[in-house]
Each structure stands twice: as C-alpha cells, then as structure tokens.
C-alpha cells in the first residue's frame, strides 16, 4: 500500500531557530496536507497544497508541493515555544477519494 | 462555523463489549472519514462516508463498521472489543471535493 516517509522523526531546537521537515512517497499524490497535533487532541490543518510546485505560506509556516508530486516539505521560521507538537504530512491520491495517507510524524521540541 | 464534534471524548470498555462513537461534521460537509491512531501504527484510515454511502474502506476487520445519516452525522461501531482496539479514534469532515479534511478532537477508547 501507499506509504509516506516523514523525516526527521524528532527535532530539538532553540527558540528563534528555523525548522524544516519533509515527506516522501513512492506514489504520486494530488494533494498534500500538513497538520499539527497537540497531546490528546485531533490534528489541526495548517496548510493544504493542490498543485505540483505550489508554495504556500501560513504566517511563519511555508510548505511546498514537490515537482514530482511524490514529496512535500514544511518550514517553520523563527520558532516559538507554542510550536511544540507533532507535525504530520498527509497525502491524497487521485484514486482514494478523501482518504488520507499519513506520515509517521515529526515531534518538535522548542527550548526557550 | 462550529468545528467537527466527536462524542464521547473518553470511553472505557471491557473486552468483548461493543462501542459506538459519534461524529458531527462541519455544517455543509457531506464527507466523513474515520481514523484510528495508535503509538505503534500511527494514523490509519478506517472508512469514509459520503451522502450516507461508504465511499472508501481501509484494511480493518469487519468488527469495525460505520454509517452516516441524512444530516451527515456519522457513527462508528466496534463489536467484540479487543485490547488492541485501544486507541484515539478521529473523525474528519471534508467538503465534496474532499481535498481539505478537518479533524475533531477524537474519542480516546480504552479497552480493559
């Protein structure tokens, strides 16, 4: 089945640093979504990408849909303590309806 | 607009029992998907309902079932509970295009 490889698994950074994480797949996706999840809560949608090469920002967050449609990355600039959480990428293929395939997540820790 | 609402937030059940979880999607959204989240397996797709019909199904045993009502509210049922069914169950609602999925807070199910 489809799988998304997300890296890194975890990151420990200082407040103010920039962060980058990415997802790769062996399959093509038509949509890439990035979510943040806090403990005990549901994932919150951060950014949605719909076209190869698309670059979209949401405040300090920027994400890109890879040209090959098999990868995506998320950058967080000038990190702050409230950025702590688990970040997930998710993809939707052309044949899966609204079915999301998720990456394993990146645990982000920000030291003040 | 109100977000996705899942009830109950927490449940404790005994092995062999059955359980029903409820999800009210965002107003106007007709697609509802269910996911199981566990530390070992991550986020796994269970099924998707659209206009009261199951549109997609993941690789879970038949003990996991769902339905959707005419007002788009959805329920998920798990029969003959096993210890391994302990997880956070998440519901996501999407517009007709299905390319942006919004999650509820989840129902934490513990099977003892």
Tell me, what DSSP letter sits at residue B26?
P
Chain B interface includes A32 (CB < 8 A): no
Closest C-alpha to B45, from A107, A71, A39, A1? A1
Q: Which residue of B has its CA nearest to A3?
A: B44
Q: Which residues of A touch B102 (CB under 8 A)?
A: 45
pLDDT tens-digit map of B75-103: 999 999 999 999 999 999 998 677 899 99
With 90 as the cut, is the pLDDT of residue A53 above it?
yes
Gap between the terminal Cα atoms of chain B: 37
pLDDT tens-digit map of A71-106: 999 999 999 999 999 999 999 987 767 889 999 999
Tell me, what DSSP letter sits at residue B16?
T
A67/A49 Cα distance (integer angstroms):
12
The reported pLDDT for the residue numbered B40 is 87
B15/B107 Cα distance (integer angstroms):
17
The reported pLDDT for the residue numbered B95 is 82
Q: Please, is B73 exposed, middle or buried when counting C-beta atoms within 10 Å of its C-beta (0-12, 13-18, 19+)?
A: middle
Q: Which of A43, A97, A105 has the CB atom closest to B98's CB atom? A: A97
Cβ(A106)–Cβ(A87) below 8 Å: yes
Q: Which residues of A touch B21 (CB under 8 A)?
A: none
């Amino acid at each position: 089945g489809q799988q998304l490889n997300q890296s890194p698994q975890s990151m420990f950074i200082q407040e103010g640093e920039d962060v980058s994480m990415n997802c790769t797949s062996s399959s093509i996706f038509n949509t890439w979504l990035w979510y943040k999840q806090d403990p005990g809560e549901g994932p919150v949608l951060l950014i949605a990408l719909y076209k190869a090469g698309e670059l979209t920002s949401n405040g300090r967050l920027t994400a890109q849909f890879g040209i090959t449609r098999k990868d995506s990355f998320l950058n967080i600039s000038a990190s702050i303590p409230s950025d702590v959480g688990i970040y997930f990428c998710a993809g939707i293929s052309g044949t899966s309806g609204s079915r999301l395939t998720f990456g394993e997540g990146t645990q982000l820790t920000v030291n003040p | 607009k109100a977000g996705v609402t899942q009830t109950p937030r927490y449940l404790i059940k005994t092995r062999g029992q059955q359980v029903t979880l409820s999800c009210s999607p965002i107003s106007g959204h007709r697609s509802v998907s269910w996911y199981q989240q566990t530390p070992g397996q991550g986020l796994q797709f269970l099924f998707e309902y659209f206009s009261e019909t199951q549109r997609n199904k993941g690789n879970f045993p038949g003990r996991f079932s769902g339905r959707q009502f005419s007002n788009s509210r959805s329920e998920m049922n798990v029969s003959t509970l096993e210890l391994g069914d302990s997880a956070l169950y998440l519901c996501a609602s999407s517009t007709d295009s299905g390319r942006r999925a919004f999650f509820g807070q989840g129902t934490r199910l513990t099977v003892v």
